[in-house]
């Protein structure tokens, strides 16, 4: 069986469980596979947490990992819907691109972006995943992690992307202290040369940081000299508005 065929059959098996718990024989019948093949696929999916056996039974149901992934997707879509109008307003206010990101392991996952009205624009980062230490939103996430989690992050080498990337653990810790104090993070050419960005945290219902808003643009025009503090305040205000809507559902 080819790897592609295995994936196709695995998704067919998952579809057979969508309406509730099913035994191996019924799964095989629904998807048109030999019982032995269906059993092997179910065993593989069970090892990955995508399916599980109903306690005390031989029937299978969708597993906790699949449910968790689906919940995360719903949460992200809901967050994007809540945040997007504020990103539109922020991009219009600053004249630069505004974006939304969420933490994803050691990386930042960019989930939305509203482009700058300026004819010279930076690229759309939506869908990208970038190591946290190299971007403003990632430094915001790191700054609000518990100390043990930060220590685990710093236990692995920090990848260098430009000559300005922070790759020294002590220097990064100093930056994170500044981020916690200031409520925002500025990054200049630490991931991509010629790009500057500023990010601020979004707090969820339990007060923990669940996402970040950022604005970014070419360093030759962003930020305009003398506007750094005002730009940071605008980004923090946008993050606060999104946080209120996220917590209240308003």
Q: Where are the domains of the chain?
A: 3-62, 69-248
Mean pLDDT calculated for residue range 220-248? 94
Token pair listed for 184: 């925002």
Spatial distance between the Cα atoms of 82 and 77, rounded to a whole number of angstroms: 9
DSSP string, 144-204: TS-HHHHHHHHTSPPPP-STT----HHHHHHHHHHHHHHSSEEEESSSSTTEEEEEEEEE-
Q: What is the mean pLDDT of residues 21-37?
A: 87
**What is 69-248's CATH number?**
3.30.450.40
Tell me the CA distances in angstroms from 129 to 44, 109, 183, one per residue in order: 28, 5, 23
With a pLDDT cut of 70, the percent of the chain lying above it is: 92
Band (pLDDT 50/70/90 cuts) for residue 181 is very high
Residue 14 CA to residue 125 CA, distance in Å, equals 32
CATH class of 3-62: mainly alpha
Residue 32 has pLDDT above 90, yes or no: no
The confidence score (pLDDT) of residue 69 equals 54
Higher pLDDT, 24 or 73: 24
Residue 42: pLDDT band by 50, 70, 90 thresholds?
confident
Q: What is the mean pLDDT of the chain?
A: 88
Residue 71 has pLDDT above 60, yes or no: no
pTM: 0.71
Q: Would you state the pLDDT for residue 240?
A: 96
Q: Is the pLDDT of residue 178 over 90?
A: yes
Is 133 or 55 the better-scoring residue by pLDDT?
133
Residue bearing tokens 């799964």: 27
Indicate the length of the chain as a whole number.
250
Rounded average pLDDT over 126-147: 94
Measured CA to CA in angstroms, residue 226 lies from 35, 171, 231 at distances of 70, 26, 10
Least confident piece of the model among 35-44, 176-185, 233-242: 35-44
Q: What does the pLDDT read at residue 16?
A: 83
pLDDT at 124 over 60: yes
């Amino acid at each position: 069986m080819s790897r592609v065929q295995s994936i196709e059959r695995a998704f067919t098996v998952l579809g057979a469980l969508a309406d509730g718990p099913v035994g191996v024989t019924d799964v095989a019948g629904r998807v048109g596979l030999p019982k032995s093949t269906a059993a092997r696929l179910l065993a593989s999916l069970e090892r990955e947490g995508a399916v599980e056996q109903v306690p005390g039974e031989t029937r299978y149901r969708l597993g906790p990992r699949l449910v968790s992934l689906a919940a995360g997707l719903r949460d992200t879509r809901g967050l994007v819907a809540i945040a997007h109008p504020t990103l539109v307003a922020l991009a219009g206010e600053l004249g630069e691109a505004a974006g939304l990101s969420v933490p994803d392991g050691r990386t930042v996952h960019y989930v939305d972006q509203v482009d700058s009205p300026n004819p010279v624009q930076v690229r759309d980062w939506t869908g990208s995943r970038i190591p946290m230490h190299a971007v403003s939103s990632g430094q915001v996430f790191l700054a609000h992690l518990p100390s043990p989690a930060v220590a685990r992050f710093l236990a692995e080498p920090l990848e260098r992307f430009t000559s300005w990337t922070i790759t020294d653990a002590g220097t990064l810790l100093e930056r994170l202290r500044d981020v916690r104090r200031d409520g925002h993070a500025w990054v200049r050419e630490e991931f991509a040369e010629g790009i500057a960005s500023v990010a601020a945290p979004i707090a969820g219902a339990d007060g923990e940081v669940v996402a970040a808003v950022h604005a970014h643009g070419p360093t030759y025009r962003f930020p305009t000299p003398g506007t750094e503090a005002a730009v940071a305040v605008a980004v923090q205000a946008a993050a606060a508005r999104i946080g209120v809507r996220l917590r209240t559902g308003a």
